[in-house]
Amino acid sequence: MGDNLRDIPEFIEREMGESLQARTDALGMFKELGAPDLCHIIKVNVKPNVKETSSYHYVSGIDASSSASLAAYLNSLTYAIDETHAWFSKGVQWRIRSGVYCCYNAFSRVDVRVEVKIPGGVESYVVNLRGERYLKATAAIWLETSVSAMLRAILYSDDPNYRIPGFRKLDPIPDVAAEGRFFEAAEQLFFRAWLLGSNPEIQVPTIVNNHLTTAIMKYCQESFRYDLAVKFFERLFSREPEAKQAVNCAPSEFITWEKLTEVYIDLGDYESAFFTLNSCPMFTFNERDLQSMPKPAKAHLPIRSDIDLSLIDDETEREHEANFGL
């Protein structure tokens, strides 16, 4: 249909704005990093007497350091409609009238939102856990929001709990400049990162066991940039003695006992491994921060153009393959 975005997933709402209301209602249930960023848009047809439609999709990897960067993403969606349907629709054209980008700030427990009206202006505001709206986000709020969005993009990238339909995942660190900005912001908020929570097997989040340190190590490991992690923690040596250890000696944590059990198994001391495993402290599993949405009127889940052109599912190539089982 001519009102769909090209190469971008979206869910068409039954009632306009119901996804935004559902997110507002769910804010109080977010315990840690929060749900993925939500992008909501309203589309109108240039012809009169055509009903407006609204849709939403999840997205990660967008620079959330300012209202301008989030507004730029919303503005980029207007080209997804124009480029695709200007020739195909033959006059029945759609355009985006307005959009709202929602990004959860896991430090201050608020939802930062940027609303763009086309044509018109850009307005940013903050929604707290009670659904109350504040007019303006401060520089400190934007810093926290930027780091929160980056952590979700890194940690949710391969988390099976977040393999949800309509989730558009972009590269959160596309270049060296973005990498530098991320580590600089992470350093500023490092000693407050225990507020973010930690992996389920960690009983009590600390400044060295939390989602921020996990994301930093995950990024450095996957990019084979261990030097970045070394330099990052070296800069913190003089500020906090605990950072020198990288991890705490925590007999109440499950991971330390698990490692000891593995050592006993490698040594062949299965009796000690059994007693150690039996002494492991149990941890409480925390449910992931997911947002429940109303059932959409319909879904638009396009195949990415690069996958479509790769002919991954092309059967013609397989017709010439020999069956070695014959």
Give the per-residue pLDDT at 135. 75
What Rg value do the Cα atoms of the chain yield, rounded?
A: 24
String of DSSP letters for 107-166:
TTTEEEEEEEESSS-EEEEEE-TTS-EES---HHHHHHHHHHHHHHHHHSSS-GGG--TT
Instruction: Enumerate residue ranges in the chain where pLDDT < 50.
Output: 83-87, 92, 243-244, 246-249, 324-326
Are 156 and 206 within one domain? no
For residue range 130-140, what is the model confidence (pLDDT) as tens digits? 999 987 889 99
d(CA 260, CA 265): 9
Give the per-residue pLDDT at 108. 94
Assess if residue 308 is contained within a domain.
Answer: no
Give the per-residue pLDDT at 40. 96
Assess if residue 315 is contained within a domain.
Answer: no
Are 114 and 150 within one domain? yes
Are 160 and 255 within one domain? no
Are 122 and 1 within one domain? yes
Give the per-residue pLDDT at 302. 81
Are 99 and 181 within one domain? no
Assess if residue 177 is contained within a domain.
Answer: yes
Last residue of a domain, one of 127, 149, 172: 172
Last residue of a domain, one of 133, 149, 172: 172
Are 57 and 110 within one domain? yes
Query: Which of 257, 229, 254 lies closest to 243 in space, CA to CA?
Result: 229
Give the per-residue pLDDT at 54. 93
Are 16 and 153 within one domain? yes
Give the per-residue pLDDT at 171. 93
Are 25 and 135 within one domain? yes
Assess if residue 323 is contained within a domain.
Answer: no
Are 188 and 265 within one domain? no
Give the per-residue pLDDT at 326. 45
Are 159 and 73 within one domain? yes
Assess if residue 295 is contained within a domain.
Answer: no
Q: How many CA atoms lie within 13 A of 124 on its CB side?
A: 19
Are 117 and 149 within one domain? yes
Q: Domain range spanning residue 261?
A: 249-286
Three-state secondary structure call for residue 88: coil
Residue 86 is given by DSSP the state T
d(CA 312, CA 59): 25
Assess if residue 304 is contained within a domain.
Answer: no
Percentage helix, strand, coil for the chain under 3-state DSSP, each rounded to 5 = 40, 15, 45
Last residue of a domain, one of 184, 218, 240: 240
Assess if residue 223 is contained within a domain.
Answer: yes
d(CA 246, CA 240): 11
d(CA 116, CA 97): 9
Are 13 and 78 within one domain? yes
Report pTM. Answer: 0.80
Count of domains forming the chain: 3
Assess if residue 92 is contained within a domain.
Answer: yes
